[in-house]
Structure 1
């Protein structure tokens, strides 16, 4: 063990994982604290509109994920250091172009009145994050990942998250208009982007040195398209429940449903973080098929056991958690939360199974899986939301997760057969 940690690459990877864990836990804690403050201040109806604006952003944001890290990081690693400026510059211009187009289309839709006026006012500020997240933060973060050194980005992200939480508290105390809060998210993304850009310039001898290469630009625009579309489908599936509920229930009820899902999604995020942490050692680096198959069954059972135990505890503490975080006006979310936490079981199992799909870069499997999950969830939502409201949306999510997990299982049995 000491010899392993004496290896510089392993030590860097372990340190990176520690920082990743700290950043995720900080983000989860800040997200819950901010949601609690806003829910108590805005009330269920306006909080529902705030959550719906965030849902729209999370559906739109994947459009800007062109040339993802799975394409950019290997390109940085395999190209000579002298070409770093060309690689990063080409990716930056591509992402900035797509992000600017997405922002302008979003603003045009808001101006045309396709959303509730207050939802549109909130989304107008939130959408600005698209202009900074992928072009600035995403490109620099890919460069840092190529060196297995994400500490600067993670430390900046943690710091700005804590500052944002403090500013939310200040605006709540000042009784600010609801739409003004969204600009804090825009300012946060701009601050992270600028800090990381300055860090890169400092590490690069005081100059940026980015250039655009047309052939590389075209390569980035087309490579990874299947993965990109698959990720868009995945995020659309994850937010489909709120998109369809908005048409069937009031914003107040949507706010209570979203409050329950806010806590639950942060719990599920821990399962995803666990999967990302253990993937390199137990999946990605394992070449022996028999050993990989054993690892996958053990990891799946471990994830299921962990999610069941966590869901059981959260179910018992539902009243304390919901009223403690969101206040007494959200008591109607307690029963929804008790059902929602059990979604973590199929979500955790799906996250583990997805590791094999990522290991073998099975892009068409990834796309097919989330298209299937999206279609199943849409049909279930269409049938059940008019009849049982929010519980129909939970049933749609459960059916979608099970559909995605079944595709993973089929692929694992095919790929890892003896």
Structure 2
């Protein structure tokens, strides 16, 4: 009896212990499920807000596209291929140095504002503004010296380049845009930039109607960037109940931001270098006619890139929050984002491939014959541009900015080497092939050969596979992005 009682006691103790372990395990599983459920609900709510935010960016860009089809094509017809190519060439210098003037701070600042770390938002905005203002001024000075040396005998081209380069200084105010992005309020940025765009477009129409010179058209870039900066400041002061006078520069924060951002800055520089070196190399290795045709194709190809930026930047605050809360939800959201970008980019590429001959004939006329063949090749670069934009945020969140730099340098070298080989033989078509190959390698293929980046390669590959699944559209609409 005693033994039995002891055994029974032990059995009861074991039962209670087992029950306790089961209870603890059940509570753990329940808590995990609640966390995942809460994260999914939060993602669903934030995703709707992000889609609405992206909608404002879409509205802005679609409005600009529609206007560009009228005013831009009118300009192309009025100026002709050679002068139109020269006008676009004036944008090459500031575009290449845009990354240096921006210092690669965009994603870093948004991340820091969302995370609410050791520094206040006024310190982040003030420090970012001063850093970008100094960098923009230095970049403008560098361009001034370069154009004076390279184009000493072309004063009109010098003036055109200086007008277009003014954006490097004005873009320092875009830290306000980053503030709006962090709060998913892109409608405020869109409002400011749309007003500036409308006013500058009216000025372009006036110049076209009254047959102004090429120099006058390049000055519109300065007018638009200055107006956009001014209106952004006015809206920020009014809508946010704050004032830029509250911004503060912090030396320690400046060093921290530059330490984090310099790989992105250099990577962005190489991206613009190999995206815009095409035009410079066409001018030097071919002629202004080929440059004009390539520029016309770019207008119909690169105009779609904003979609990738709009979608990704709108979802980025959500990804930052999910990364700190639930890794599984973050991975699902990241995969869904890449799948959405893959689907949209492939859809655009297929549409333009079939519509290119009709679009070019309708918009540009006979003097731009052959642009459709350039466009059909170049538009497929958009697929890898979209995937590159979407995955770049993964590298920032995992503090692997140096991998972005390495990937971009490889892409730039591939593009430049292929241009040297292909442009003399094939002109603008060769440049389009070089761009496509470079984007494929830099944004996607090379990820497989970098151990730390291999998860991105697998996520991108899975996203491409998702696009061709029969139920892709239904699953995309049903599940959280």
Q: TM over 0.5: same fold?
A: yes
Match of 1:182 in 2: 218
Give, in angstroms, the shift of residue 358 of structure 1.
Answer: 4.1
8 Å contact from structure 2 (residues 93, 165) kept in 1: no
Match of 2:179 among 138, 143, 157: 143
The whole-number CA distance in structure 2 between the counterparts of 1:416 and 1:284 is 23
From 426, 434, 438, the counterpart of 1:396: 434
Cα deviation for residue 415 of structure 1 reads 6.6
Give 1:223's match in structure 2, choosing from 252, 260, 273: 260
Q: What is the aligned partner in structure 1 of residue 19 from structure 2?
A: none
- Provide the rounded CA distance (Å) in 2 between the counterparts of 1:180 and 1:246: 22
TM-score by length of 1: 0.86
The question of whether the paired residues in 1 share the 8 Å contact of 2:312 and 2:389 is answered with yes
> Which among 290, 295, 305 is matched to residue 258 of structure 1?
295
Q: Give the TM-score of the pair, scaled to structure 2.
A: 0.76
Tell me, yes or no, if the aligned pair for 2:111 and 2:320 is still in contact at 8 Å. Answer: no
The answer on 1:384 being equivalent to 2:422 is yes
Q: Identify the match of residue 332 of structure 1 among 350, 370, 383.
A: 370
Q: How does 1:152-167 map to 2 (within 5 A)?
A: 152-167=188-203
> Where do 1:76-95 residues align within 5 Å?
76-77=113-114, 78=116, 83-95=120-132
Structure 2 contact 104–264 (Cα < 8 Å) conserved = no
Q: How does 1:12-411 map to 2 (within 5 A)?
A: 12-66=49-103, 68-77=105-114, 78=116, 83-114=120-151, 116-133=154-171, 135-136=172-173, 138-202=174-238, 203-204=240-241, 208-276=245-313, 285=322, 287-288=326-327, 292=331, 296=335, 303-304=341-342, 306-404=344-442, 405-410=444-449, 411=452
Query: Over residues 72-126 of structure 1, what are the superposed CA-to-partner deviations in whole Å (9 max), with x where a residue is unaligned?
Result: 2344452589x44443333222211111111122122223343754432221111
Change in CA separation of 1:343 and 1:178 when aligned onto 2, cut-off 3 Å: same
Deviation at 1:348, TM superposition (A): 3.7
Contact 1:129/1:186 (<8 A) preserved: yes
Q: SS of the residue aligned with 1:155?
A: helix
> The residue matched to 1:247 in structure 2 has which SS?
helix
- Report the alpha carbon displacement of residue 63 of structure 1 after superposing the two structures with TM: 1.2
> RMSD in angstroms over aligned alpha carbons?
3.4
Whole-angstrom CA distance in 1 between matches of 2:277 and 2:458: 34
8 A Cα contact 1:257 1:390, kept in partner: yes
1:195-243 CA-to-partner distances (Å, cap 9, x unmatched) read 2222333344667233333333333343311111111111112222212
1:269–1:61 distance in 2 versus 1, CA, 3 Å = same
Partner Cα separation in structure 2 for residue 110 and residue 33 of structure 1: 31
Cα drift, residue 393 of structure 1: 1.0
The number of equivalent residue pairs is: 413
Gaps of 5+ in 2: 1-36, 460-481
Mean Cα deviation higher: 316-325 or 198-207? 198-207
Contact 1:30-1:161 within 8 A present in 2 as well: no
State which drifts further: 272-281 or 322-331.
Answer: 272-281
Q: Is the 8 A contact 1:32 1:262 kept in 2?
A: no
Q: What is the CA–CA distance in structure 1 between the aligned matches of 2:399 and 2:160, rounded to whole Å?
A: 37
After superposing the two structures, state which structure 1 stretch, 385-394 or 172-181, moved more.
Answer: 385-394
Using the alignment, how far apart are the partners of 2:149 and 2:330 within structure 1? 56
Instruction: Report if aligned partners of 1:245, 1:254 keep a CA contact under 8 Å in 2.
Output: yes
Paired residue secondary structure (2:284): coil
Larger Rg: 2
Tell me the alpha carbon deviations over residues 243-297 of structure 1, each in whole angstroms, 9 at most, x when there is no partner. Answer: 211111221221111101210111344345445556677898375569937973x
Q: 1:268 to 1:214 in 2, by over 3 A?
A: closer
Q: How many angstroms does 1:374 deviate by?
A: 0.7
Measure, in 2, the Cα distance between the counterparts of 1:204 and 1:271.
Answer: 31
